[in-house]
Chain A
Amino acid sequence: MQFSIVKSIEDGLPLKAYAAEPDAGLAVRVPINNKPGSESSNFRLIPPGAPQTMAPFSAAGPSPPARFIDPSVPSPPITSVPPSGAPYQRFPAPPFPSAPQTPPNRAPPVGQPPFQPPTSQVSVPPPSFRPQTQVPPMAMGSPPQNANFPPSRMNVPQPPSDSLLSGPRPNFQPPFPGYPSKQPVVSQAPSSFPTHQGSFMPPPAPPSAFPSQQGSYGPPPPVASNLGYQSRDQMQHPVSAPPIGGVQSLTEDFSSLSVASMPGSMEPGLDYKALPRPLDGDVMPSSFLEMYPMNCDPRYLRLTTSAIPNSQSLVSRWHLPLGAVVCPLAEAPEGEEVPVINFASTGIIRCRRCRTYVNPYVTFTDAGRKWRCNICSLLNDVPGEYFANLDATGRRIDLDQRPELIKGSVEFVAPTEYMVRPPMPPLYFFLIDVSISAVRSGMIEVVAQTIRSCLDELPGFPRTQIGFITFDSTIHFYNMKSSLTQPQMMVVSDLDDIFVPLPDDLLVNLSESRNVVETFLDSLPSMFQDNVNVESAFGPALKAAFMVMSQLGGKLLIFQNSLPSLGVGRLKLRGDDLRSYGTDKEHILRLPEDPFYKQMAADLTKYQIGVNIYAFSDKYTDIASLGTLAKYTGGQVYYYPSFQSVIHGEKLRHELARDLTRETAWEAVMRIRCGKGIRFTSYHGNFMLRSTDLLALPAVDCDKAYAMQLSLEETLLTTQTVYFQVALLYTASCGERRIRVHTAAAPVVTDLGEMYRLADTGAIVSLFCRLAIEKTLTSKLEDARNSLQLRIVKALREYRNLHAVQHRLGARMIYPESLKFLCLYGLALSKSVPLKGGYADAQLDERCAAGFTMMALPVKKLLKLLYPSLIRIDEYLLKPSAQADGFKNIMKRLPLVAESLDSRGLYVYDDGFRFVIWFGRMLSPDIAKNLLGPDFAAELSRVTLTEHDNEMSRRLMKILKNLRESDPSYYQIPYLTRQAKLMIYSSS
């Protein structure tokens, strides 16, 4: 059954705004924008001189925050609560108030009236609280009507609330002194506060209820509380944002039915393991492949739902994105490589009309003399050389020798008609900032060493070309002619009128000039070690590089350590200007400041130059502007804030090496064709559109994915099946022009339920992610999150409407099996760096860099980033002889909830971009000593993890190595953190 997960809406989705639009119920929002940090505000003690707003609750005594009301109420009180009070109480229940409302300045937490949390949770005008009770039609809001609910409601929030809410009370205060450091990160837009707060007052809950509740919760279990906090704190990770927050309460509500047997019990007896959590990572939809075994593997093409709606009206009821995520060059496991086919003299077989490539779904007729295109159903002639007889069932007899007719993914060798010029050689050009900050950070040295060590592995030997430009306030060109013994440096200081001092020899063939290049790279760090120039003529240098490369195209790697300050394209420190934050103009900061960057990006794409940006600065460098270059040239942005070669060197080394050595497709264009009646209308990712449906990708590799949305052109589709064909025309590093073709078929359905059944959460989340990030470029972060939530809620409501009647679900919310993680990922997404919180929750640069990265991430990596894995390793480390089997066992992902963390344990948290190694407070000191050496007692944030000469340390390193190898596209540096009294997971 699709709705295996049944949940009571009432308890669950904390339904912030629901009352605002009672009729629609649209406003039900998963409190996705909750911020971990803001929780803490929930637990604030009531200040001694409580503000007047506190009055109604004063009966409750000074210390208990209003929030405890709900969870802590023992069952009798709550059932007795008048209906009007119930909704109010319910609101506080979800432990994770929405983020944006937390005041930025957390430092004096005690002074805050305790009421903020509940209010903040509800980011709707407060009056909505009461209306909620008046929302019977949607049942979501009207709790007390259903007798079954109170118990479950009681029950559900408990585990979290027990530990999370009441627990922290005792030890809440001490941690705060340490807290301020985190504050800026966590703080939120302040403005909404006062208003909410004030308006929150009107709906006064019956005060009488409070004392009792409070009493019941007086002595909370301290350990649990701590755990609760820590797990939450996890969410402060800029990237990870695990779903523990609202979604946890949400997912826990799923199981409300099963737990209902022990209503009112105070034990946190909920088995959190039973709740749906994506612990297997990304599960690719298999039904798709089973239905159409000749489809390409989902790693290349994933549809948000494998059932294509047949009518406009059906599309309008499908509130999730309808589209596809394409990763044309995804790495295939051993033995599943895409077959390369050379038609040679025949020429590539394509449909005359729609230019579709021959694929497994074409049908041969007329005794094999004709074939019918599956996309436009035109009858084409089969060329003489390609002719084969048909057998009795109408299949070609040579089918097993024709991979293009049995496999969904093939690669054709393209003849000369597919070239506008001879295939270009792989070309790497480096633009390196050598100003003082670059020298000081040690970046130049790491870069030079890494490039040198990769020279052998650069793809395309012996045609590979290479070139360098360095710049500070002047631009330095290097003549690397093979006849020279060492490179000649030429300095151009006229920034207004850039010229290239030499026509050739700035870009040389690597195999011919190998010695010169090596000499150059060896001497590069020392050449500038005394440079004291602080300026950066980035724009002119970029133009110079463009001039050098424009003949051939290729890949331009830019290493930038400071804000461009000279010549064209210089940028202002606009990110440091606090005035524009929090206003309607805030989004402008996330867009390139100077049109130069967009223009330059367009020119670079035109000349087949792909840009990768490596940014290192500890100060504001306007990644929004710099990243634009990567965005429109199909590149990516690597951001190492406050780069120190000691700490981040390894990461840079690995990622740069990966960038240089991974298989790259050059001067590529990609197009996705689909059957009649549907059309791809919008494309999302890092690329530039060359025409309405042609993606220009100067350099593309396996780590890039592109998303697209489709729409129906006709009101009614009459076909049974729709076919999609992705074609990527590119130049391989070996100099061959190739076309990679992925074909997939999907059924056309008339039923919305079927669409839900075949939905693919990963692809949906990926599209949502891109849409939301794009939205942050034109509107506020909050709007982006809200629209995301709204769509999820709409979709689930639609699904509920679909089944509510026949299953008499009453007030419950149901989820299709295929989308059981959607809410969780939605929450995680709105806590991800590009979207989370208010302006102060992440550095602008960090936000932009993460945005550029996430716009290109393949589905699997994105999901891992959104729901990182947590692994307990201390037992494995202690085991006397841990062999391979033991290793397999420990690689078990734990749910990201407080209960997963044991203070006696050692955990590794891995989001694909970094590790957090978490030392429990009660972890045996032996382990710490063995792993950290003499530093084990020191402040962990200052300790770097190195291998020590003992078995345990070696094992840990092996674990980390294995984790890294499972996905080599990024390198995770370990951040160490110790369980604090309160939390603080890591302070990276």
Chain B
Amino acid sequence: MNVEDDEDRELEKLVNFSEWYKRFNDVRVVVKQYFSDSGGGGGKMAWDLIFWVLCFFINIALLASSFYQLLSLSDLEADHLNPFEAATRINSIVLPEFLLQGFFCLSFLLTWHWFMFISTLPITVYHVMLYLNRKHLLDVTEIFRDLNTEKKYRFVKLAVYLLLFTVVLFRLLSASIFFFFAWKFEELDIRTSLFY
């Protein structure tokens, strides 16, 4: 009696465990599936999110710098700013912008985001070219002669940054969706149901 009881108890425990474990097993499969699919480790999803958040902010910074430079140039044109001040303002942020943009581009290369890398590459190359030719800074003395080209150049850059911004925003959203939704509502996740 005792023995049976004991055995029953043991059996019951085993059954309980397997019941409990079954749930667990499902998750493991899901997780395994997810990770084998996107080729990373558990931290990858988090890293992905962090990476895109970072890109997002860098991009905003680049946008802001371009915009600021354009604004300064327009002010200069409208005579709200004298050339000395405009040149100092713009020149002080040219190099940081170049560095930031270089980092932006490089980070895509290192994380194997080929599409993003290729789309940022032209600007980087152009920046490097400007820098090597020592033409990256505004020339105070000829600022009015170059005004139109400088404005055009910054407009183009602003447009490119805006395009990049939309892409980055999209990637950021998708990364965050995966990050949050894959764990909390795995049942609802298409992938989880798919791999059952």
Which single residue of chain B is at the shortest CB-CB distance from A684? B145
**CA–CA, A691 and B83, complex, Å:** 7
**Beta-carbon contacts of B126-149 to A below 8 Å, as 1s and 0s?**
000000001001011101110100
Given A602-B84, A606-B84, A688 and B137 touching (CB < 8 A)?
A: no
**A601 CB–B CB distance under 8 Å:** yes
**A599 CB–B CB distance under 8 Å:** yes
Which B residues between 94 and 150 are near A, CB-CB below 8 angstroms? 134, 137, 139-141, 143-145, 147
Q: Is the CB of A598 within 8 A of B140?
A: yes
Q: Is the CB of B77 within 8 A of A692?
A: yes
**CA–CA, A691 and B82, complex, Å:** 7
**B5 CB–A CB distance under 8 Å:** no
Contact of A602 among B77, B141, B147 (CB under 8 A): B141
Q: Is the CB of B139 within 8 A of A598?
A: yes
**B4 CB–A CB distance under 8 Å:** no
Q: Is the CB of B83 within 8 A of A598?
A: no
**Beta-carbon contacts of A596-638 to B below 8 Å, as 1s and 0s?**
0011011100100000000000000000000010001000000
Taking CB atoms, residues of chain B closer than 8 Å to A258 are none
**CA–CA, A694 and B78, complex, Å:** 12
Which single residue of chain B is at the shortest CB-CB distance from A632? B141
**CA–CA, A689 and B134, complex, Å:** 22
Taking CB atoms, residues of chain B closer than 8 Å to A690 are 82-83
Taking CB atoms, residues of chain B closer than 8 Å to A606 are 84
**B79 CB–A CB distance under 8 Å:** yes
Which of B76, B77, B84, B134 has the most CB atoms of chain A within a 10 A radius of its CB? B84
Which single residue of chain A is at the shortest CB-CB distance from B144? A689
Taking CB atoms, residues of chain A closer than 8 Å to B145 are 682, 689
CB distance from B101 to the nearest CB of A (A): 22
22 A-B residue pairings within 8 Å (CB atoms) = A595-B137, A598-B140, A598-B141, A599-B140, A602-B84, A602-B87, A602-B140, A602-B141, A606-B84, A632-B141, A688-B83, A689-B143, A690-B82, A690-B83, A691-B76, A691-B79, A691-B82, A692-B77, A692-B79, A692-B144, A692-B147, A694-B79
**Beta-carbon contacts of A78-101 to B below 8 Å, as 1s and 0s?**
000000000000000000000000
Taking CB atoms, residues of chain A closer than 8 Å to B134 are 595
Q: Is the CB of B141 within 8 A of A601?
A: yes
Q: Is the CB of A688 within 8 A of B79?
A: no
> Which bucket holds chain A's interface residue count?
10 to 19
Which single residue of chain B is at the shortest CB-CB distance from A688? B141
**CA–CA, A603 and B88, complex, Å:** 11
Taking CB atoms, residues of chain B closer than 8 Å to A682 are 145
Taking CB atoms, residues of chain B closer than 8 Å to A602 are 83-84, 87, 140-141
Taking CB atoms, residues of chain B closer than 8 Å to A628 are 141
Which B residues between 56 and 90 are near A, CB-CB below 8 angstroms? 76-77, 79, 82-84, 87
Interface size for B (C-beta < 8 A) is 16
Taking CB atoms, residues of chain B closer than 8 Å to A601 are 141
Taking CB atoms, residues of chain B closer than 8 Å to A603 are 84
Taking CB atoms, residues of chain B closer than 8 Å to A599 are 140
Taking CB atoms, residues of chain A closer than 8 Å to B79 are 691-692, 694
CB distance from A589 to the nearest CB of B (A): 15
**Beta-carbon contacts of B148-179 to A below 8 Å, as 1s and 0s?**
00000000000000000000000000000000
Taking CB atoms, residues of chain B closer than 8 Å to A694 are 79
Taking CB atoms, residues of chain B closer than 8 Å to A689 are 83, 143-145
Taking CB atoms, residues of chain B closer than 8 Å to A598 are 139-141
Taking CB atoms, residues of chain B closer than 8 Å to A632 are 141
Taking CB atoms, residues of chain B closer than 8 Å to A688 are 83, 141
**CA–CA, A784 and B155, complex, Å:** 31
**Beta-carbon contacts of A684-708 to B below 8 Å, as 1s and 0s?**
0000111110100000000000000
Which single residue of chain B is at the shortest CB-CB distance from A606? B84
Which single residue of chain B is at the shortest CB-CB distance from A689? B144
Which of A598, A682, A689, A690 has the most CB atoms of chain B within a 10 A radius of its CB? A689
Taking CB atoms, residues of chain A closer than 8 Å to B77 are 692
CB distance from B132 to the nearest CB of A (A): 14
**CA–CA, A431 and B134, complex, Å:** 30
CB distance from A821 to the nearest CB of B (A): 30
**CA–CA, A598 and B91, complex, Å:** 14
**CA–CA, A601 and B143, complex, Å:** 13
**CA–CA, A601 and B141, complex, Å:** 8
CB distance from B196 to the nearest CB of A (A): 68
**CA–CA, A692 and B76, complex, Å:** 8
**Beta-carbon contacts of A469-488 to B below 8 Å, as 1s and 0s?**
00000000000000000000
Taking CB atoms, residues of chain A closer than 8 Å to B83 are 602, 688-691
CB distance from B189 to the nearest CB of A (A): 58
Which single residue of chain B is at the shortest CB-CB distance from A597? B141
CB distance from B65 to the nearest CB of A (A): 21
**CA–CA, A374 and B137, complex, Å:** 42
CB distance from B19 to the nearest CB of A (A): 77
The 3 closest A-B pairs by CB, nearest first: A602-B140, A691-B79, A689-B144
Taking CB atoms, residues of chain A closer than 8 Å to B87 are 602
CB distance from A695 to the nearest CB of B (A): 10
Other A-B contacts than A606-B84, A632-B141, 14 sampled, CB-CB below 8 A, are A595-B134, A598-B140, A598-B141, A602-B83, A602-B84, A602-B87, A602-B140, A603-B84, A628-B141, A682-B145, A688-B83, A688-B141, A691-B76, A692-B77
**Beta-carbon contacts of A332-367 to B below 8 Å, as 1s and 0s?**
000000000000000000000000000000000000
CB distance from A632 to the nearest CB of B (A): 5
**CA–CA, A692 and B74, complex, Å:** 11
CB distance from A988 to the nearest CB of B (A): 33
Taking CB atoms, residues of chain A closer than 8 Å to B147 are 692
**CA–CA, A682 and B140, complex, Å:** 16
